[in-house]
Structure 1
Amino acid sequence: MLLKNKAVLIVLLSASVAGRAQTNPKPAIPNTEKTTFQTGGTWKPTTDLRADVAIVYGDGGKPGQFEQRVKSFKDHGYQLAFMTGMAWGGYQDYFMGKWDGKQHFDEGQKMMNDDTVWHGHNTPYVVPTMNFLKYYKEQVIKKAIDAGVDAIYLEEPEFWAKSGYSEAFKREWKEYYGFDWRPQHESAENTYLSNKLKYYLFYRALKESFTYAKEYGKSKGMNVRCYVPTHSLINYSMWQIVSPEASLASLDCVDGYIVQSWTGTAREPNYFNGVAKERSFETAYLEYCCMKSMTAPTGRKLFFENDPVEDTRRDWSDYKKNYQTTFTAELFFPDINNYEVMPWPDRIFDGKYFVSQASNERAGMPKSYSTQMMVMINSLNDMPVSANKTSGSQGISVLMANSMMFQRLPTHDDGKAWADPYFSNFYETSGMFNRVPTDNKLMDPQLSNFFGEALPFLKRGVPVDIVHAENLGFEKALKDTKVLLMSYSNMKPLAEDVHKQLAKWVKDGGVVVYSGRDDDAFQKVQEWWNKDGKKYNCPADDLFDKLGIGTNPKAGTYNVGKGKVCIIRRDPKEYVMETDRDNELRDHVEPLYQQAAGKSIGYKNSFYLARGPYDIVSVMDEGVNNDAYTIKGKLIDLYDPTLPVISEKQIKPGEQGYFYNVDRVANKQKPQVLATAARIYDEKVSKSKYAFTAISPLNTINAMRVLTPAKPKKVVVTDAKGKTLTDVKQSWDATTQTQFLSFDNNPEGVKVALSW
């Protein structure tokens, strides 16, 4: 009886929301799963993005509401997926005792002062116990699959480094380690053990959840795909959050990831040349690179995400500038062409934000920005994979490991603080420590031991790559690396196999440049390199021993088999936290690269990549010079909402460019839409006519350039009912043979017919 009532409710609600879609459905979106967006709402005409997949977020609300949301998007031609938080979400019925009759607030993440880390009212960040996972599988995942959704996204498996004091965590500690819980603030070793356990708990949580999803889906005849939307290892390390990250590569139940990099993560300040400030392009580039490198050896599917706004309330010009920056950064990886085009379209299209930095006035998205944004995201539907490389010297990589997240927080009993000063007020209010750090020896401000290896080259136009220690067992992990930069000042190897694999690679001809004083407090944590018969003072000594150069070797370059090892007795942070110090790293790397690659490193202040017809450019400040990058050709400027045709443009330091190069259109006699702020359907081509339908959100303005064999003699633009639109802007460009059109978008469709 309950199921019948529920079904009736779904039908009634869906009919009211979907409206005419029940009798006049939208054209089906191509079954590619190439572009996605996530939303907590139902389909609306003002947010009809026309990406391939609508990811319906959360299953909460009144009975039938989740199913109604799913159906509202399905009725409008979307493929469907489900996303919910792994560490937080609308799980109040579990915490408040409605599920099993017991309250479970002791399973929230707690800080040293006994405060819970909250994500919202009665919504703590969770310690994912087996009991919680039983609830999660039965009440959350099962519900989504029963609604017919065959793609599950469990996002942000996050354990805050500042937490680790709840009773549930103490119980998990005893079960995992076999001895009683130890407060993490009392020693570096306790911090390391605490964060290692946090890492494991969400690894287990995802394994349990996805294994269940696949098995339950199979029982219903469904092939359920499972994805993890997650911040990068770089960002989680900077924000002091622990998450499984690269270890998930070992799970067969994980089909892929969404890389959650956007203005909020990319604007996090870092140090270069002695100055800490926002470097959004460089940070975003490294975040996308980090996740691409993490998944590349595994063949997992990867979506890149960014956001036209962000959580922090800024003004529209700030959002636009940083959106262009992060959008450009994601395009520089030509082997990735799947994208989450935006999260939370309701927030973006319906939200009101400051009109300028100097004003308290708020307004909705400027029409020019919404047009530009729609041009950008619709170009992603056609973005090809390319064999081209981002311009610059290839083959310099930085080694990373998940344990970067283990060495964050707090002050230890040796009195030396090493947490980040940018977060000092945050930690003071959370009870972690009560003074601003002053001793630099054990600090890694703003993850400078990572950026200290990457930025000296990235800032000079070298497309630095990243290698994950957890992936070294894959044959292709180091295939394209000529020189590997590494340090154990901000991370530690989780297994001896890492050193066995590195030693083999070097002996076969690889080159390692190791920077490190090896004197931080984490060098002596009880781990594999100093127990069970091993007695190394630091993990690097095990590597050096395997390389045959002995323990605690002095600075210098050593021949090892066919390869080389260069040791610099400085922590990488010293290259960037001080002025004009990164030359010390570059002076060591340059001759080694010359020998390994057979050519010198080329320095510049820009990146360029051609992907199909698209030209992507970024010019960096603080680089080798202040020269602008000049691009030439028959170009449509995709960052200008009027889509002007240009023959030349200069991109200045700190700016980016995105262009459609008409010179690279394969068949110029074939009529086609080259750039548009809408998705194109129902294309019809004849000898002298080209017609199509453009669909895009209400209250946005379309701009498009249409290639035709000759100048159109007639252009007719009508709405879905056949009424001619009179307010249409149009012009012809003879150099590119493109017709410019601009008119109000409509989710019901605008029909365009050109004849010549």
Structure 2
Amino acid sequence: MTSKAQVRAEWTGFQESRPYGPKYDLRTDFVMVYGISSDLPQRIEGWKKAGYTIHLMTGVSWGEYQDYLYGRFDGREHWDEAQTDRSGNHLLHGKDVPYMVPTIAFAEYLASHIKLAIDYGVEAIHLEEPEFWAASGYSEAFKREWLNYYGEDWIPPHSSPDAQYRASKLKAAMYYRALDRLCSQMKEYSLVTYGRTVRFYVPTHSLINYTQWRIISPEALLVSMPGCDGFIAQIWTGTARTPNVYKGLRRERTFETAYLEYGIMQELTRGTGREMWFLHDPIEDNPRYSWSDYRKNYRSTVVASLLHPEVKKYEVCPWPRRVFEGSYPTEDGQGKETIPGDYATVLLTVMNMLRDMHNHEEEAKASDYTSGVGLCLSNSAMYQRGDVVLGEEQLGDAVKYDGTSSAEELDDKQKELLDWSAFYGLALPLVKAGIPLRPVQLDNILTFPGYLDGYRVLLLSYEFMKPEHPGIHQSIGQWVREGGILIYVGDGSDPFHSVSEWWNRENSRRSYSRPEEHLFESLGLGRSPEEGEHAVGSGSVLFFKENPAVLSRTDEGAVRVRNAVKRSLEIRGETVDYKESSTLHIRRGPYVITHVLDETEADRAVVIEGMFIDLFEADLPVRRSVELKAGEDSLLYDLNYSAQEQGESGILASSSRIRDELADANKLSFVSESPEHVTVSTRLRVPSEPSRVTAGEQAATFEYDGESGTVLVRYPGVPEGIVVSVEY
């Protein structure tokens, strides 16, 4: 029987639906063979021969499941289980590929295919993207599920906030049921049949993205699922470039959005022992951008992810074949081109650097920045993003935005429906001020004792989400009484306050018109305190009676948010700890990671002094100083750090996977593995200028930098490995 302790290290991996190919063999620890088609055994065998640990990934809400849809699986057609909007249209991921209502029958269908993957020997299963569109809820299958779940006839979700909220809760519960059933059933099958433990993971978008894109998913519910071993945080340019509003301007803010998305995913598993991989994508699902656009946004997402040091595992690329063999528009839009050689080299440098990240802890002092500030976010934010009829307002067409096209292609009404300014109105003013704000998974407060330890200030609003249990308020109350400062922002205008929930049930001993009334009462402030500051035990509550969306519209709104945090620290006697910065940055071992914020008053360049290798450049240049303009990112290797740690010689950075490193007084050799037809760059520290460098049987080009005592070697990539020898 295989125990977790026996599992090979899996720091980096990627997913691919195509058979093995040397041009996109990224030399990571594992590969997720995608899809459960008939050629699965052959695809598994190809990647296994290349030395990979094999996982399987398949869609749990969509896929090539036509045999199920058309009745070839069990003799009954299942198109009634396709997610359907109020106009009767199926919500599709492609031709004959609908998003599915996760019925028990559909779960059994998926189980029949997953059994085959287990039979073929895969070590882990990834059931990706449990997604139920907020615009759906009108199929016959969903109506049946409503009747079984609520014990009453289905109500059209758009008919009221309560109907929409209840429909969304049911959607999340259904996907939880499907995943729980699959994970536990298939784990038992593997143990009974083979005496082997199979791990189950859920690759999922962030709670922030799903809420903004109007998608329902289990998210925080999955942390309590016994059969779920962890997650992949599916965050990339396509999710992070979704426009949001700051100081009244709606535009793409890829870095800031990605930073918040990775943050909520780190919080999802913090302290749980569950595994988490952060995903990056060198391109995105929308194929209409140029390589320079992809490159800039990729840098932003990588840097945003590295600013969250509790996660040290990465999916370095989904679909590497489309990256290394695909063609995308040229800068002038007149044609298409494959990946530029220097970008391919940079990508592989970053991917191999990510595999080293687990060896290094964050090296920073809390006094370096304003720490301990969190913004609460709950699963329920997804539940109130669907369409509803309010008074005489007429509904437009249902919106289904998934990042495969530009948000700018939507009309004004659709852009408005994608707006989520109530959240961003509280979040962006702090991130833009260089305050490392953490989204706090509100649902975890009850599940994990001490979850709020380490937070000094919390921002909370029920204008874009609701507390799903009254016990949350008891935990917040205890945290405040012990010295925490709670900033509550809300005017009670959200129509979803009226949904039938625990705070307003008629048979309840105490009924509240809005959930914050219960919060305030739990804090000893009565149901309707005045605006302003209120002492509670050793802590305080700052109450602002306005909708947080308003704060996103003006400079003054952003200033109010920052001043509230500053005042909170003053109350704690920690005024000196409030610091604003033009950067968000971190050091993790030798790696110096920096983003320079834009849309600030100064928007000035930042200069980093020292001696670094620039990991975002193909030739790994040595820099004595690095100047970054507003909105730019850097990923640097500090040579002074490595000199202290590594001594006279050693490999510092490479766009390849290195193994079998050997060194003596006159020679350093190693084996370098990298995709075929990619130029590999490797920079080494050496005791003196090399006299000869070879890669395989050929002489390799090299450049010596005397001041840093390093040499850059460049040679062709070979997946199975090429022996590189450096003689002094």
TM over 0.5: yes
Query: Per the alignment, in what secondary structure is the counterpart of residue 705 of structure 1?
Result: strand
Amino acid at match of 1:205: A
* Contact 1:424–1:436 (CA under 8 A) maintained in structure 2: no
User: Which residues in structure 2 correspond to 1:369-408 (within 5 Å)?
Assistant: 369-383=343-357, 384-389=359-364, 391-408=368-385
The DSSP-based 3-state class of the residue aligned with 2:572 is: helix
CA distance in 1, matches of 2:356, 2:401: 45
The 5 Å alignment of 1:88-487 reads: 88-137=62-111, 139-219=112-192, 220-313=194-287, 314-356=289-331, 358-383=332-357, 384-389=359-364, 391-416=368-393, 436=413, 446-473=419-446, 474-487=448-461
Q: Relative to 1, partners in 2 of residues 1:425 and 1:735: Cα closer, same or farther, differing over 3 Å? A: closer
1:686 corresponds to which residue?
Answer: 664
Aligned to 1:610: 587
Distance 1:419 1:211 in 2: 42
Determine the structure 2 residue equivalent to 1:559: 535
Q: Paired residue for 2:561? A: 585
Contact 1:729 1:741 in 2 (8 A): yes
Secondary structure of residue in 1 paired with 2:670: strand
- Where 1:581 maps in the other structure, the secondary structure is helix
How far the C-alpha of 1:418 sits from its partner, in A, is 9.8
Assess if the C-alpha contact under 8 Å between 1:508 and 1:563 holds in 2: yes
Return 5+ residue gaps in structure 2 as ranges.
1-6, 404-409
2:580 aligned partner, one-letter code: Y
Q: Do the aligned partners of residues 246 and 107 (structure 1) sit closer, same or farther apart at CA in structure 2, a change above 3 Å counting?
A: same
SS in 1 for 2:270: helix
**SS at 1:297 equivalent:** coil
- Answer yes or no: is the 8 Å Cα contact 1:486–1:512 preserved in 2: yes
TM-score, normalization: structure 1?
A: 0.90
Distance in 2 (alpha carbons) for counterparts of 1:446 and 1:244: 22
Query: Deviations for 1:652-678, whole angstroms, at most 9, x for unmatched residues?
Result: 101001111111114443532211111
Q: Is the 8 A contact 1:449 1:571 kept in 2?
A: yes
Q: Is contact 1:354–1:361 with CA below 8 Å preserved after alignment?
A: yes
Contact 1:118 1:125 in 2 (8 A): yes
8 Å contact from structure 1 (residues 409, 419) kept in 2: no
2:154 is paired with a residue whose SS is coil
Alignment-mate amino acid for residue 321 of structure 2: D
Partner of 1:528: helix, strand, or coil?
Answer: coil
- 1:58 paired to 2:35: yes
Distance 1:514 1:583 in 2: 16
Given that 1:603 and 1:624 are in contact with CA atoms closer than 8 Å, whether structure 2 keeps it comes out as no
Q: Structure 1 counterpart of 2:726, which letter? A: L
Q: Which amino acid aligns with 2:455?
A: T
- Relative distance call for 1:479 and 1:385 in structure 2 (3 A) is farther
2:18 paired residue number:
41
Q: 2 CA distance for matches of 1:589 and 1:132?
A: 48
Q: Deviation at 1:448?
A: 0.9
Is 1:538 aligned to 2:510, yes or no?
A: no
Aligned counterpart, 1:512: 486
Offset at residue 755 of structure 1 (A): 1.9
- Residue number in structure 2 paired with 1:528: 502
Quote the residue 2:3 is aligned against: none
User: Match of 2:115, as an amino acid?
Assistant: K
Q: For residue 420 of structure 1, report the CA deviation from its aligned partner.
A: 12
CA distance in 2, matches of 1:321, 1:747: 27
Q: State the partner residue of 2:719.
A: 747
Q: Secondary structure at the match of 2:672?
A: strand
Which residue is 1:721 aligned to? Answer: none
Deviations 1:697-736 (A, max 9, x none): 1121111101122222222222xxxxx324x321111122
Shift of 1:588: 2.5
Cα distance, 1:680–1:434 mapped onto 2, change above 3 Å = closer
* 2-structure distance, mates of 1:483, 1:596: 10
- Judging changes above 3 Å, is the alpha-carbon distance between structure 1 residues 597 and 609 closer, same or farther for their aligned structure 2 residues? farther
CA distance in 1, matches of 2:147, 2:81: 15
Q: Which of 627, 634, 640 is equivalent to 1:657? A: 634
Q: Which has the higher contact order (CA 8 A, sep 6+)?
A: 2
Secondary structure, in 3 states, of the residue corresponding to 1:112?
coil
Give the TM-score taking structure 2 as reference length.
Answer: 0.94
Equivalent residue number for residue 738 of structure 1: 710
Once residues 138 and 347 of structure 2 are traced to their aligned partners in structure 1, the CA distance between those partners, rounded to angstroms, is: 44
Report how far residue 225 of structure 1 moved: 1.2
Residue of structure 2 equivalent to 1:712 = 690
Q: CA deviation at 1:425?
A: 13
Tell me how far apart the structure 2 counterparts of residues 91 and 131 of structure 1 sit (CA, whole Å).
13
Q: Is the 8 A contact 1:351 1:365 kept in 2?
A: yes
CA deviations over 1:367-387 (Å, ceiling 9, x no partner): 011011111111111113414
> How many Å separate the matches in 1 of 2:135 and 2:645?
58
SS in 1 for 2:466: coil
1:614–1:600: structure 2 CA closer, same or farther, 3 Å change rule? Answer: closer
Kept in 2: contact 1:444–1:490 (CA 8 A): no
- Range 177-186 or range 595-604, more displaced: 595-604
For the structure 1 residues 413 and 451, does the alpha-carbon distance in structure 2 shift closer, same or farther, using more than 3 Å as the test? Answer: closer
Question: What residue number does 2:406 align with?
Answer: none
Displacement of 1:580 after TM fit? 3.0
CA shift digits 1:325-355 (9 cap, x unpaired): 1011111112211000000011111100011
- Please give the alpha-carbon distance, in whole angstroms, between the structure 2 residues aligned to 1:636 and 1:180: 64
CA–CA distance in structure 2, aligned partners of residues 66 and 499 of structure 1: 49
Q: Tell me, what secondary structure is at the counterpart of 2:626?
A: strand
Instruction: Name the Cα RMSD after superposition.
Output: 2.1
Once the two structures are overlaid, the 10-residue window that deviates more, 573-582 or 346-355, is 573-582
Call closer, same or farther: CA 1:641–1:411 in 2, change over 3 Å.
same
Give the deviation of 1:396 after TM superposition.
0.9
> What amino acid is aligned across from residue 159 of structure 2 in structure 1?
E
Contact 1:399 1:486 in 2 (8 A): yes
**Structure 2 SS opposite 1:580:** helix
CA positional deviation for 1:171: 0.4
Q: How far did residue 412 of structure 1 move? A: 1.0
Shift of residue 56 of structure 1? 0.4
SS of 1:381's partner is: helix
- Aligned letter for 1:671? S
